[in-house]
Structure 1
Amino acid sequence: MITSVLLVLISSFVSAQDKPNIVYILVDNVGYGNFGTYGGTVDTPNIDKLAKSGIQFNNYNVEAQCTPTRSAIMTGRHPVRSGTTSVPLPGTGLGGMSPWEYTLPELLSDVGYATALFGKWHLGDQEGRLPNNQGFDEWWGIKNSWDEAGYTTWPLFKESGMETPMIWEGKKGQKSKAVMPLNLKIRPIVDRDYIIPKTVNYIKNNAKKKTPFFVYVGYSEAHPPIIINEDFSGKSTKRGGKWADMIAEMDFHVGEIIDAVKDTGIENNTIFIFCSDNANGGFVPQDGPGSNGPFRGDFANVPFEGSMRVPAIISWPGKVPAGIVTQEIFAAVDWLPTIAGMIGEQKHIPTDRPIDGIDASAMMLGKSNITGRDNYMFFGTDGGLLSVKWKVYKTIFRYTEGPVSAEKSYIKPSFPMIYDLSSDPHEDNNLMTSDLTVGWIFAPNVKIIGAYEHSLKEFPNIKVGQDFKGY
């Protein structure tokens, strides 16, 4: 009996050792056209090299804001199912993911990974909904978002009754604790002095232990307020102002993380993922131009491609084919099932709830040239459907006017608008006003929407802040 138990433990240990490490770098509010490999004008040699070493997705789709995209990555589910369709505003009560949600770090932890988050969480700011409650062994960073760095500069802030914004750290099984104030002094150096060094040290320490690890880097830029640290201020190779300086700094830090993996000799057994959570593209004018590439829309001008299509790169030397640039549709919800597939742990994907992500591991591992996804539903911050992308066609049911429309409500056109993204990526020519022979495109849309609505009968969406216990 003892021998059989030991054999199981040894087998489990050996199996865990064979798993690839995963470095997931998530940048904030960076649109499609900011990096060299995506047509940007600022030199980004490290990000460009990473793209050439693996797969560059030119049709990667995220959600409307930071919170819903991060929820999609963590759960593999449309945020509307999790009650995470919008950023929780101060004073509005409990928000973020329900503890019931089964997250990517929980899945990885269950199969023997060490897990850590350094940087931004934004998926719940109360005990029970923090990173160390949702699968991370350890974390250091912020509960919500970087704009809180400027809260205390307002003279009436103390009268609001809010606590001073802090940076936190925590470990699984323990309460998280505040470690330092989050303010404008720490804002320009938080990546250089904290997030990146902690990530590098984590990689090196776990490489020595020969333990497979998952490190999730919630990089701070380009979320407002953008304040460039002195190492990069005014030193961008293109002299493009602070936005260019910020992109150049971002590329430098990505290089530091890549070098840490190379220096420890684990490069060939490490999956790199680099992507953005949503687009900016000039939504906050004082932060610089940004770029959403050839696409219309931005953070608030939804659901046009510029608001939902952002950079995404994956690399794993010798496993993920190099030099692939693809227009295959891929989405934030797909990371959980795809990563599970890449490490051979599909059996851990939950079956007691809708999982909207698809397992694209066959493409990632060079066994297929398609992701398996031919459509994507895009929801608004109110939880209502905005659009359906099906193959090369985009049907828009509701939208906001641009270019800056944070104060404007959704508009419902008399007839849904249809765009052919293959010939009209900027979504200028609404086919419903120029060619009424396109009505057939509603048929696949109705099928996609119908399948989602049918699933709600068995699995109703979780409400914001709900202490959900299960179906």
Structure 2
Amino acid sequence: MSDYIRKAKFPAILLVLYVLVPLAHAAPGQDTKPNIVLVLMDNFGYGEIGVYGGGVLRGAATPNIDGIAAEGFQLTNYNVEAECTPSRAALMTGRYGIRTRQRPDGPPRGIWYGITQWEITLAEMLSDNGYATGIFGKWHLGDTDGRLPTEQGFDEWYGIKHSSDRAFWPDSYSFAPDSHPDAVFDYVMTGFRGQKPTEIAVYDRAKRTMIDREITDAAIDFIQRKSRENQPFFAYLPYTQTHEPVEAHPDYRGKTGNGSFADVLAQTDAYVGELLDTIDELGLKEDTIFIFTSDNGREGVPRSFGFTGPWRGSMFSPYEGSLRVPFLIRWPEKIPAGQVSNEVVHQIDLFPTLANIVGIDLPNDRIMDGADQSNFLMGKSEKSARESVIIYIGNELFGVKWRNWKMLIKEIDENSYAINRLAYPSFYNLLVDPKEEVPELNYLNDTWVDFPLYQVIEDHEASIAGDSGAPDP
């Protein structure tokens, strides 16, 4: 029995139908299960690419990425979790990161644990409905047996288990190999479903400059193979840039003359262009959903040169510079071109949205936090299917957004990361005060917003309290 059907406890009749009804892949242009390419940047701020105010302003034009917006839908209020692992957990499961960390008994798991085997990933859902699934890049959702990507729904994987800060370690003269059992070098891995992944090379500073090139090549090869096999595919590219160290491939080092970040921005745009060209050359453009987004805002360390556009803060904060990132989606003839919206959307919405587009029922044995945004994205509704999002940093509830209002019950010191617990919440009207500079600005005229904001928090807390948790391991 497939993992998705087993985990979701589907009725037996659905299993019979699943086995007996073949999954057809029609010729381009016909109604069929669309291919899906999901590009996820790492610590990539809202203001990096041209259509979000960056591009040439940041030292490197981004015409290929900007072209996704011209041919599709650009969101200006796309929300994510504040840290890498919780964000990826939310994206892969359609559930808030805090919910994936709930235990059946006891306190929630730590934020870097990742997801348990019990979770149903986007890859599992698609794989069990006829898709070929490949991940090319950073996983960061589990490094123990049973929790690697090829054990969580992906057919094949090329990339790293952890994060790029480990690329510093092999070149560090102060690294202590006997400090802790978990303090080990990361490796570039390759693997296939049902096989033990293989370590290819130590992920050091030299390999760090090469890996996004290799990720792109592996993804293109996967797309070409699955196109020849006439099978719908899900290609997930969680790039390693622009996480520190931000160092370009030798082909792009010094290319812009505007520093390493601009070089990497130019490199990324070129790689995305290659992916788009591959889709177009294979005649799959009308049958492929192509998404470009990020896991969270720019790096929080002072040495990082990321750009959050008009928003305050960086990752690891409850401010918009942490929570709002680019989101572009293209699906010709299905998603109208040239749309821009400031409606509230969250990364957890991607799971139910793609499930509906593909024609898959959601799991009914767990709480799903995501909302189906297919009507909104395809121009059938001007309104998002959600009005609110919950804000966490780690396992701490910080606040809530509802429409254009935001309430923070905690804030964070942006220099020390100390949590400031507020005697009275801060309120921001994000249209009037987008940089969150003046709490309570206009609030006295609009104290009615207390009711919907607090209601969202109360409903969420009640939902978490009643959640049965995600079983180990």
State yes or no: 1:285 paired with 2:302. yes
Any residues of structure 2 matched to 1:212-223 within 5 Å, and which?
212-223=232-243
Instruction: Give the C-alpha shift of residue 454 in structure 1.
Output: 2.0
Q: SS in structure 2 opposite 1:214?
A: strand
Q: SS in structure 1 opposite 2:407?
A: strand
Q: Which amino acid aligns with 1:44?
A: T
Q: Which amino acid aligns with 2:426?
A: M
State yes or no: 1:467 paired with 2:464. no
The partner residue of 1:365 within 373, 378, 384 is 378
Q: Which 5+ residue runs of structure 1 have no aligned equivalent?
A: 89-94
CA contact (8 A) 1:127 1:175 kept: no
Instruction: Give the C-alpha shift of residue 169 in structure 1.
Output: 1.7
- Specify the alignment match of 2:10 in structure 1: none
Q: Which 5+ residue runs of structure 2 have no aligned equivalent?
A: 1-14, 102-107
The partner residue of 1:354 within 346, 367, 375 is 367
CA contact (8 A) 1:16 1:113 kept: no
State yes or no: 1:227 paired with 2:235. no
| TM-score where L is the length of structure 2 | 0.89
Instruction: Give the C-alpha shift of residue 299 in structure 1.
Output: 1.4
The partner residue of 1:207 within 227, 230, 238 is 227
CA contact (8 A) 1:99 1:134 kept: yes
State yes or no: 1:101 paired with 2:115. no
Instruction: Give the C-alpha shift of residue 366 in structure 1.
Output: 2.2
- Specify the alignment match of 2:396 in structure 1: 384
Instruction: Give the share of equivalent positions with the same residue, in percent.
Output: 39
Q: SS in structure 2 opposite 1:217?
A: strand
Report the number of matched residues: 442
Measure the CA separation in 2 of the matches of 1:325 and 1:417: 29
1:311-356 residue CA offsets vs partner (Å, 9 max, x unmatched): 00111011111000110111111110011112222x1x11111111
- Specify the alignment match of 2:354 in structure 1: 339
Q: SS in structure 2 opposite 1:190?
A: helix
State yes or no: 1:74 paired with 2:79. no
Q: Please, which moves more after superposition, 449-458 or 110-119?
A: 449-458
Instruction: Give the C-alpha shift of residue 159 in structure 1.
Output: 2.6
CA contact (8 A) 1:76 1:332 kept: yes
Distance change in 2, residues 1:163/1:337 (3 Å): same
Instruction: Give the C-alpha shift of residue 49 in structure 1.
Output: 0.5
In angstroms, what is the RMSD of aligned CA positions? 2.1
Measure the CA separation in 2 of the matches of 1:8 and 1:45: 42
Measure the CA separation in 1 of the matches of 2:253 and 2:187: 25
The partner residue of 2:425 within 416, 427, 433 is 416
Instruction: Give the C-alpha shift of residue 232 in structure 1.
Output: 1.4
CA contact (8 A) 1:27 1:276 kept: yes
- Specify the alignment match of 2:448 in structure 1: 440
CA contact (8 A) 1:147 1:224 kept: yes
| TM-score where L is the length of structure 1 | 0.89
Q: SS in structure 1 opposite 2:389?
A: strand
- Specify the alignment match of 1:451 in structure 2: 459
Q: Which amino acid aligns with 1:444?
A: P
Instruction: Give the C-alpha shift of residue 461 in structure 1.
Output: 4.4
- Specify the alignment match of 2:3 in structure 1: none
Instruction: Give the C-alpha shift of residue 11 in structure 1.
Output: 4.1
Q: Please, which moves more after superposition, 450-459 or 23-32?
A: 450-459
Q: Please, which moves more after superposition, 65-74 or 79-88?
A: 79-88
State yes or no: 1:29 paired with 2:34. no
Instruction: Give the C-alpha shift of residue 87 in structure 1.
Output: 5.1
Instruction: Give the C-alpha shift of residue 284 in structure 1.
Output: 3.1
1:233-260 residue CA offsets vs partner (Å, 9 max, x unmatched): 2222xx4311111111110100010011
CA contact (8 A) 1:67 1:85 kept: no
State yes or no: 1:322 paired with 2:326. no
